[in-house]
Amino acid sequence: MEKLKNSQKNNNVASKDVLAGVILILFTFCATIIWIAYAQKQAQTDLEQQQVRLQEESEQFHKQINEAHSLYLVEANRVNTGPQNPLDPNYLVSQLYEIDNSTDEYKRNSLTFYSLYGLLKNGTNALSAIKDLIINQHNFDLNIKMLYSPRTLRQEIMTLLVSMNTQPAADLLSQLLPATQDAKEMRNLCEALLSISDGYRPYCIQAARTMYERLTKESNVNKSEINSLRSILIQLLQDREFAINLMEQRNWLESYGNIDENLFAISYKTLQDDIIPYCYEAALYQVEHRKYPKSIDRTILDIAKEYITHPQSPEILLMGMTNATSPLIRSYECIMGLSLDKNFYRDLWGYWGFYSLIDREDTESGAVDPEIIQKANERLLFLDNITTQFADNKQITQLIEIVRSSLKHTANTDPNKGEWNADQPTIDFIKNTAMQMIDENSAINHHMLE
């Protein structure tokens, strides 16, 4: 009898443990569903707020134009009472020479707007007069609070020349390159010049490099300025030499096994598969030096997927899948991220999606594109090569087969192939895998907090 009571007691305890486990799973699942619903609602709210903000900005922009035109008319009426030609470029520039920071603020602002508006109306006929201002570096502050934040005459001259959008104006504008004050000005100026002619690219590169070298030597350098200039040189100006120098100098290297992911993210399109050896070096560095959580940064893995035919790319991906504190999460993102189909991400990726610093180029599900077909076949070959290495892991094997199905659909050359859609067993499997990864991620975070 005593044994029977103990047995019943043990069964009751086991039942309670099972019930507690079921409740925990249900709670986690419900929390995940609630979080997804909240995220969708928040995205809709953000979109609505953005539309309202764009409308407000549009209204403010038109208000600024009207205010600027009013300032011009006020000054034009005053000047028209004198003997001078009120729109003569040389006269307008002479008015600007008489202004400095000691001039009354209202007079400085109204006279400057009148002169600049008049120079704009003259178009390229005003360039000769404007050139004197640039050569003599005449400058002063402007503070039109009702229009925008404080600016300078030089910045207004830049805007004026950009708006002309002509070769002669661009020639004059290029003379302002060495005088740019920050990365934002440099980007605006380079974009304006390149929009007119690619012939200005070498001058832009030279000016941006000079600014970069100057800033990196300053003791109190603003890191965001450095990052902005890197982006200008590598992404906008496509300066391969600059990008390679940064990689060769290991500018991506940081302490404790970390790397500068952003540098790789902005460089991969300019360097293309030439970046893979540096990604391989970075991956080895992280495997050897990163303590916890042990992993290879996602950007390195994403770039390896983009150039998967490079001999070192499969090695990078396998390192990422096998040298990680969270092997399921890393294997999931390495394998699932190989699909090229938008429907694949719509149907499955949402259960456990990952951000990426590099731009994805997913194709429409039923599209037939020779380049995408070739890319799909290259990724299928990679999956064929790694399948045997994970033969003992049924979960990884099933992930591989799901992605293989998507890639085979993309590689199909039949124009009537229709869309790829996940079946219910696949969706259920991915849901269950996502729940496992949530648990795995929670355990890792808990360990890091201890």
Which residue type, as a one-letter code, is found at position 92?
Answer: L
- Cβ count within 10 A of residue 333: 23
At 82 the three-state DSSP class reads coil
169-201 tens-digit pLDDT: 888 888 888 878 889 889 988 998 998 889 999
What is the rounded CA–CA span in Å between residue 53 and residue 59?
10
- Which residues make Cβ contacts (< 8 Å) with residue 247, sequence separation at least 6? 267, 271, 275, 278
What is the rounded CA–CA span in Å between residue 127 and residue 123?
8
**CA triplet 164, 165, 166: central angle to 5 degrees?**
95
Q: Output DSSP code: residue 274.
A: G
Per the model's pLDDT, the better-predicted residue between 169 and 238 turns out to be 238
347-394 tens-digit pLDDT: 887 767 777 788 877 888 888 899 999 999 999 999 999 999 899 999
What is the rounded CA–CA span in Å between residue 371 and residue 377?
10
Which CB contacts under 8 angstroms, 24+ apart, belong to 101-108? 101/140, 101/141, 103/140, 105/143, 108/140, 108/142
pLDDT (0 to 100) of residue 22: 47
Token readout for 143 is: 């503070």
The strand pair at 141-142 and 151-152 is best described as antiparallel
Across 22-26, 278-282, 342-346, least confident range: 22-26
pLDDT (0 to 100) of residue 76: 56
- Cβ count within 10 A of residue 26: 10
Partners of 363 in the β-ladder: 341
pLDDT (0 to 100) of residue 18: 45
In the block, tokens 């399109």 appear at: 269
Across 43-47, 241-245, 330-334, 385-389, least confident range: 43-47
pLDDT (0 to 100) of residue 80: 52
Instruction: Average the pLDDT over 106-117 and give the result.
Output: 83
pLDDT (0 to 100) of residue 358: 86
In the block, tokens 């076949």 appear at: 377
- Which residues make Cβ contacts (< 8 Å) with residue 256, sequence separation at least 6? 289, 290, 291
In the block, tokens 């399948």 appear at: 387
Q: Is the dihedral of CA 431, 436, 440, 442 positive or negative?
A: positive
Q: What is the maximum span of the chain, computed from C-alpha positions, in angstroms?
A: 122
pLDDT (0 to 100) of residue 54: 62
Residue ranges covered by each domain of the chain = 51-169, 176-237, 239-324, 326-354+367-450
Position 303 confidence tier, pLDDT thresholds 50, 70, 90: very high
What is the rounded CA–CA span in Å between residue 93 and residue 115?
7
50-86 tens-digit pLDDT: 666 666 655 665 565 566 556 555 555 555 545 456 7
Instruction: Average the pLDDT over 287-312 and give the result.
Output: 92
Summary mean pLDDT of the chain:
82
At 352 the three-state DSSP class reads helix
Peptide bond before 293: cis, by omega within 30 degrees of 0?
yes
What is the rounded CA–CA span in Å between residue 198 and residue 194?
5
